[in-house]
């Protein structure tokens, strides 16, 4: 990275350390884009840019992320504060933005951090904080925050099944039991109306960070690549994809120990109280989340079968089948009619 050019840009953006040369080093985290620690003026910040191999395709998504972070300023949604952004590739070879460095930990870096690894009562708080973040997103006045045109909420739910089946058709290589049954049920039970709001699109433990120590406190929601204006209840469905007690039967789709997690009803009660939204139709969103996630993961499995992805994604194979199996199963047993 051209740190001299970056430092000049930081000067013009009014960032800390006027006239100093920035110190930059790579950070782990962020599956779709590159992340760097920027140290200047006694402050540490994070810089996010597209991967060098795919700048053009990722730049637009990155600028959407920056727009969303700017829109979240002044809200109570936990997020990394945006410090500066440019779409000019001349600065460091790609568009980028700079945000606050989040002081916290991610469950994806080795599982539950202490004391949550052994204290199940404390771990319960992690779940409540997770759903609390989704609820706070759902109640943001997105129009007042400048997000008009950020998504296409009209017909959002009606588009979901056909959109993801079309996506799957581009790489489908095997039968996925339960796919047609689930698609049919979703079409027949699509909610007639919903209240549009900010939707993360991939909301789960993997995409949040917590503050260090107990009690549990959400530090920031991260990785906003899939964010849009849609139905925020789908984020709630995403949280509950493998939730107890029904999710306890899953053998492959869970990536964390759910011991100590509160009952689903407690999660729903908290979300409803904070967001002000009706959660009585939540099974639809859980089924849709499982359906969508299975199709998304199947893309990686298909690349692996073709020799275009490494062996790490081979583990997604049984996860896809399990997610669709549980989507179809819930469609048969839900009280929604």
CA atoms of 182 and 168, how far apart (whole Å): 14
Q: How many CA atoms lie within 13 A of 242 on its CB side?
A: 21
Q: Which residue has the tokens 């939730």?
A: 243
Name all contacts of 263-267 with Cβ < 8 Å and 24+ positions apart: 264/240, 266/128, 267/127, 267/128, 267/131, 267/239, 267/240, 267/243
pLDDT above 70 for 29: no
Q: Write the pLDDT tens digit of every residue in 76-100.
A: 999 999 999 999 999 999 999 999 9
Report the candidate in 302, 299, 294 with the shortest Cα–Cα distance to residue 324: 294
Q: What is the pLDDT of residue 310?
A: 86
CA angle 51, 54, 57 (to 5 degrees): 120
Averaged pLDDT, 35-43: 95
Q: Write the pLDDT tens digit of every residue in 304-332.
A: 999 988 888 899 999 999 999 999 999 99
Q: What is the pLDDT of residue 1?
A: 87
pLDDT above 80 for 195: yes
Could you tell me the pLDDT band of residue 31, with boundaries at 50, 70 and 90?
Answer: low
DSSP symbol at 307: T
């Amino acid at each position: 990275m051209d740190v001299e050019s970056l430092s000049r840009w930081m000067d013009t953006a009014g960032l800390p350390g006027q006239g100093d040369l920035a110190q930059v080093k790579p950070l782990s985290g962020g599956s779709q884009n590159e992340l760097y620690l920027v140290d200047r003026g006694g402050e540490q910040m994070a810089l996010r840019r597209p991967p060098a191999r795919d700048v053009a395709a990722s730049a637009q998504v990155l600028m959407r992320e920056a727009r969303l972070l700017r829109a979240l300023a002044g809200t109570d949604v936990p997020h990394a504060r945006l410090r500066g952004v440019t779409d000019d590739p001349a600065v460091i070879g790609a568009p980028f933005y700079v945000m606050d460095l989040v002081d916290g930990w991610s469950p994806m870096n080795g599982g539950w951090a202490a004391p949550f690894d052994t204290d199940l009562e404390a771990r319960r708080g992690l779940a409540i904080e997770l759903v609390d973040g989704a609820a706070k997103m759902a109640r943001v006045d997105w129009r007042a925050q400048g997000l008009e045109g950020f998504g296409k909420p009209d017909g959002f739910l009606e588009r979901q099944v056909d959109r993801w089946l079309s996506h799957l058709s581009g790489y489908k290589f095997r039968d996925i039991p339960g796919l047609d049954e689930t698609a049919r049920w979703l079409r027949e039970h699509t909610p007639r109306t919903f209240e549009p709001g900010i939707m993360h699109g991939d909301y789960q433990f993997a995409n949040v960070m917590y503050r260090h120590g107990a009690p549990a406190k959400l530090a920031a929601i991260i990785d906003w690549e899939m964010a849009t204006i849609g139905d925020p209840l789908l984020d709630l469905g995403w949280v509950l994809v493998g939730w107890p007690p029904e999710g306890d039967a899953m053998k492959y789709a869970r990536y964390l120990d759910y011991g100590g997690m509160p009952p689903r009803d407690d999660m729903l009660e908290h979300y409803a109280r904070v967001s002000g939204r009706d959660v009585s139709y939540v099974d639809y969103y859980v089924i849709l989340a499982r359906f969508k996630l299975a199709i998304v993961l199947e893309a990686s499995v298909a690349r692996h079968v073709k020799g275009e992805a490494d062996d790490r994604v081979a583990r997604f194979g049984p996860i896809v089948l399990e997610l669709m199996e549980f989507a179809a199963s819930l469609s048969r047993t839900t009280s929604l009619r």
